[in-house]
Amino acid sequence: MRARRHLAWALMLASVLLVLAGLACGSDGWSWPVWRGDDLGLIVSQIRAPRTLGAWLVGALLGLAGAIAQGLFRNPLADPYLLGSASGASLAVAAVLASGALGGVAMGWSAADGLARLGLVGAAFAGALAGVLLTLVLARGAQDTSRLLLAGVVVGVVLAALGDLLASAAPEALRARQVFMLGTTSFLGWGSVGWLAVGLVVILPVAWRLARVLDVLTLGEDSAMSLGLALPRWRLVLLAALALATGLAVSQAGLIAFVGLVSPHLVRRWAPAPNGYTVLASAVAGGVLLLVADVLARSLIAPQELPVGVVTAVLGGGYLLWLLFRRRVA
């Protein structure tokens, strides 16, 4: 109990400090925000603040989705992109860009044209949900976990291949798709923050309420069924929460690696607990991890910027390699 309380305070303190760091960090380096009508105040209020809050919310949705996926499939290697959401979103973005409907936005995924940006976001969200739905159709519902995992792998491979084919047929769309594949928080605005916040407020209570289903699943599916649990129905609800959280995060920031995978690992390592606590703490941990990566991406080689997905991959992959090394030594 003490470890859980300490972790909760540490995550909240880290969130506050990282939000302040995000407000002070920009393309021109570090500059403390001044809330006046000057250029710096405008940059902070219209660029840094929504980007910082949006990055935390994207990370929170990915951490939440990762905790649901690992609890639902009882697999510590499960991540939010397991059921074809990532490849579905990537294919949809490639299709929109290749169609030429977005014109010049295809060359740089610019946020200058609000309608074009909305088209990309909507396509990515619809594609992510379509990937999960296709997985459910191939798996004939959510009754069999093994069939669901296999269907997710097949859907992911096929849709990714189709996306690569479209990108090859329309080379002018390749750069924008590459930005999406690497993940970016550069285009997060107050509109994105609003959508992300609404999504988190809706999905998080549902996941927390159904965390008891995840606890029962640790006993095995047969035990869960013997206790009278309507497993297919609740698994479908959890899959819907997983798909919505992942689709919303991907549509706003692209494919950001390792946040959804590593966040539940960190929580379980420092404060083992039932899934109710793990789901909530993983959401906050995901926000902290992505905000750390975002601040590093902005500041390491300022005024240039690193893709935030590359930073999360390095940090997350390094952490998992460290865990493997420790276990091998032990």
pLDDT digits (tens, 9 = 90+) for 274-297: 999 999 999 999 999 999 999 999
The per-residue pLDDT of the chain, averaged, comes to 83
pLDDT at residue 108 above 50? no
pLDDT at residue 10 above 90? yes
Of 275, 209, 251, 318, give the one whose Cα is nearest residue 71: 275
What are the structure tokens assigned to 58, written together?
Answer: 């994207």
User: 78-87, 219-228, 239-248: lowest mean pLDDT where?
Assistant: 219-228
- % residues pLDDT > 90 (the chain): 37
Q: Show the domains of the chain with their CATH numbers.
A: 2-329 (1.10.3470.10)
What does the pLDDT read at residue 106?
Answer: 41
Taking only the tens place, the pLDDT of each residue in 118-172 is 677 888 889 999 999 999 999 887 777 788 888 999 999 999 899 888 877 777 6
What does the pLDDT read at residue 194?
Answer: 93
Give the number of other Cβ atoms within 10 Å of residue 125's Cβ.
23
- First CA to last CA distance, the chain: 26
What does the pLDDT read at residue 285?
Answer: 96
User: 95-104, 181-190, 269-278, 316-325: lowest mean pLDDT where?
Assistant: 95-104
What are the structure tokens assigned to 234, written together?
Answer: 């609740």
pLDDT at residue 217 above 90? no
What does the pLDDT read at residue 110?
Answer: 43
pLDDT at residue 94 above 80? yes
Per-residue confidence band for 104, with pLDDT thresholds at 50, 70 and 90: very low
The beta-carbon contacts of 233-236 under 8 Å, at least 24 apart in sequence, are 234/210, 235/72, 235/142, 235/143, 235/145, 236/136, 236/141, 236/142
Query: φ and ψ at 116, to 5 degrees?
Result: -65, -45
* Strand ranges (E), 80-225: none
Burial (0-12, 13-18, 19+ Cβ within 10 Å), 327: exposed
Per-residue confidence band for 58, with pLDDT thresholds at 50, 70 and 90: very high
Taking only the tens place, the pLDDT of each residue in 293-320 is 999 998 888 788 888 989 999 888 888 8
- Asked whether the beta carbons of 129 and 242 are under 8 A apart, the reply is no
3-class DSSP state of 82: coil
